[in-house]
């Protein structure tokens, strides 16, 4: 019965239910809001990606710097 997954008539039924629930006046507003949200998400993801690319060499330098051995005093012996 569910071999083919969603068929075109399933999508039509879902579209009719959405229109009945939200009304034709709210749908354009919802689409506009969704579009704005997607643009904001995309720009934030791009900014995070650029920020991680810039910060990555610094983190590598700091990790290499912390692995350099520093001279320490030998432990004191009790006499």
CB within 8 Å of 27: residues ≥ 6 apart: 18, 19
What are 7-19's pLDDT values in tens digits?
A: 888 889 998 998 8
What are 21-60's pLDDT values in tens digits?
A: 888 888 888 889 999 999 999 999 999 998 888 766 555 5
Give the whole-angstrom CA distance, residue 79 versus residue 65.
Answer: 37
**pTM of the full structure:** 0.45
């Amino acid at each position: 019965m569910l071999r083919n997954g969603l068929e075109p008539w399933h999508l039509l039924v879902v579209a009719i239910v959405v229109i009945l629930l939200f009304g034709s006046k709210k749908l354009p507003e919802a689409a506009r809001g969704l579009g704005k949200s997607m643009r904001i998400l995309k720009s934030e993801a791009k900014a995070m990606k650029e920020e991680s690319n810039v910060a990555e060499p610094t983190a590598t330098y700091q990790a290499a710097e912390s692995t350099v051995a520093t001279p320490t005093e030998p432990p004191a012996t009790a006499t």
